[in-house]
Amino acid sequence: MYRKFNTYTEMSEYAAKLVIEQVNNNSQSVLGLATGSTPLGLYQKLIEENRNGKVDFSKVSSINLDEYCGLEKTHSQSYRNFMNNNLFDHINIDIRKTNVPNGLAEDIDEECKRYDKVIEDFGGADIQILGIGLDGHIGFNEPCEEFKKGTSYIKLDESTIEANARFFDNDISKVPTHAITMGIGGIMSAKKIIIMASGDKKRDIFEKARIGKITPQVQASILQFHKDVVWLFAEKN
Ligand code: GLP
């Protein structure tokens, strides 16, 4: 399904409605969550509706897509802290049921295997939320020669480092160079996927992913093979 909205707020409200429906239909839902600026409006709406008593997250579990490697636990831009600050600390989710890869694991290969087991044990997410990178990445699956199945340790593209520098005082040297990301197999194992983007900068890559050639050079294009993807685009940021 494809829906276009005028504003980012309208898109976020629509995405929130789908997530809330899912949780209200199954209180033990598994939510696949993403970081970046795109899902922030959705998270805000979920916080609001949780406060209004319209949705209960107490039995919900979550699996996040990715995590930077090498950022201290206390760093505000680690994806664990991002999720705590922008969602988990403000809703009644059990923090022990929230999963984010450990970017500080001593044995990264083991951590990738552990994370795949977490995803597999859940049978994949019930709903996976996705943003899209300017180079078409989902999670941190950067353009390459293949679609990687499992969770992996990756080197971030220069363009991704530049795009994310805004979260690190606009200083490229502060942006981590590596990350752990759920693989394309893990993402595709979700029963439903909501991918969101907004504004002129994202228009082209979003359309390439949605209706262009399916190629690992645009990792999000693989979603065309998934049977239940909701493509949401807002004209204005
Ligand atoms: C980041 C994240 C992605 C996110 C993307 C877009 O690097 N790893 O999960 O979807 O880039 O971010 P934004 O929504 O801020 O444009």
User: Residue 73: pLDDT band by 50, 70, 90 thresholds?
Assistant: confident
Question: 77 CA to middle of ligand 1, Å?
Answer: 13
Q: Does position 210 have pLDDT exceeding 90, yes or no? A: yes
| Both structure tokens of 78 | 């680690």
Question: 140 CA to middle of ligand 1, Å?
Answer: 8
From the list 22, 2, 27, the residue with the least C-alpha distance to 223 is 2
pLDDT at 166: 93
pLDDT at 19: 98
b/e map 167-186, b = 16+ CB within 10 Å = ebeeeeeebbeebbbbbbbb
Question: 36 CA to middle of ligand 1, Å?
Answer: 4
Lowest mean pLDDT among 23-27, 56-60, 71-75, 78-82: 71-75
Spacing of C-alpha 136 from chain mean position: 13
User: Residue 116: pLDDT band by 50, 70, 90 thresholds?
Assistant: very high
Mutation pick for ligand 1 pocket among 80, 137, 142 (CB with most ligand atoms within 8 Å): 137
Burial class from Cβ neighbours inside 10 Å (0-12, 13-18, 19+) for residue 117 reads exposed
DSSP-based three-state secondary structure for 158: helix
Q: Does position 66 have pLDDT exceeding 90, yes or no? A: yes
- Is the beta carbon of 131 within 6 A of some atom in ligand 1? yes
- Is the beta carbon of 38 within 6 A of some atom in ligand 1? yes
CB 44: neighbour CB atoms within 10 A? 17
Give per-residue pLDDT as tens, 17-55: 999 999 999 999 999 999 999 999 999 999 999 999 999
